[in-house]
Amino acid sequence: MRIREIVDLSVVVNADTQVYPGDPVPRFDAHCTIERDGFNLLSVSIGSQTGTHVDAPYHFDDAAPKLDELPLARFVGTGIVIDARAAGARGRIGWEYFRPHETELVPGAIVLLHTGWSAHYRTAAYFENPFLDAEACAHLIALGIRTIGIDALNIDETPDDEHPGEGFPVHHLFADVAGVISENLTNLHSIDFAEPFISLLPLAFEAADGAPVRAVALNLSL
């Protein structure tokens, strides 16, 4: 097997990384320097949901598996890119977006929702993300999908004063089946090859609700 291409699907993590309202803001401080200590070393403070990350079921259910309790197979697999760019701001991504791919939606596949919303990253519009419809989510789960990602802040509607949201139903549905959600993906438009191999392997945090990932899509050939 040969890697023909690697597509980076991750946002850069720095002090300007956009976070969910109320989440910890990333902080990077020089703990050691070459001038003073002979080597460089950063002190890093981030939240478990910083940047491109995965949610463990424990994120929304105290009784559900934590990150380190999930099989690594949950984080890798063949990707199916769903073009949901037509959904728009606070648009609902219903089953009509998945219908052209129904034969590909099999257990072990990783569904990636290409909303185009990463273009709004680091702007106020990023909080107006499209979101996955709960009934469509339930249908995906019935087909055996256990890993899903989106190029937006939130796979559910992000609530604010004008939009109370629906109570994060997709997060709860995936938690109920020990599924994995990845958010803040980017560059999904660059996956222009068939059967991309997706890696969402997280940092090995213990007993965590989630962790940052360096998400990539691999173009593999024999």
Higher pLDDT, 222 or 106: 106
Q: What is the pLDDT of residues 115-170, one digit of tens each?
A: 999 999 999 999 999 999 999 999 999 999 999 999 999 999 999 999 999 999 99
Q: How many CB atoms lie within 10 A of CB 200?
A: 26
Rounded to an integer, what distance in angstroms lies between the CA atom of residue 151 and that of residue 9?
A: 9
Q: What are phi and psi of 95, to 5 degrees?
A: -65, -20
Indicate the average pLDDT of the chain: 97
pLDDT category at 1 given cuts 50, 70, 90 is confident
Q: What is the pLDDT of residue 172?
A: 98
Q: What is the pLDDT of residues 159-213, one digit of tens each?
A: 999 999 999 999 999 999 999 999 999 999 999 999 999 999 999 999 999 999 9
CATH superfamily of 2-12+48-221: Putative cyclase (3.50.30.50)
pTM, two decimals, is 0.97
> Do 136 and 95 meet the contact criterion of CB atoms below 8 Å apart?
yes
Q: What is the pLDDT of residues 63-85, one digit of tens each?
A: 999 999 999 999 999 999 999 99
Q: What are phi and psi of 7, to 5 degrees?
A: -105, 120
pLDDT category at 222 given cuts 50, 70, 90 is confident
Q: Is the pLDDT of residue 23 over 90?
A: yes
Rounded to an integer, what distance in angstroms lies between the CA atom of residue 88 and that of residue 221?
A: 35
Strands (E), the chain: 2-8, 27-32, 41-45, 53-55, 76-83, 92-93, 110-114, 131-132, 147-150, 180-183, 197-199, 210-212, 216-221
The dihedral over CA atoms of 142, 187, 97, 173, expressed in degrees to the nearest 10, equals 30
Q: How many CB atoms lie within 10 A of CB 25?
A: 13
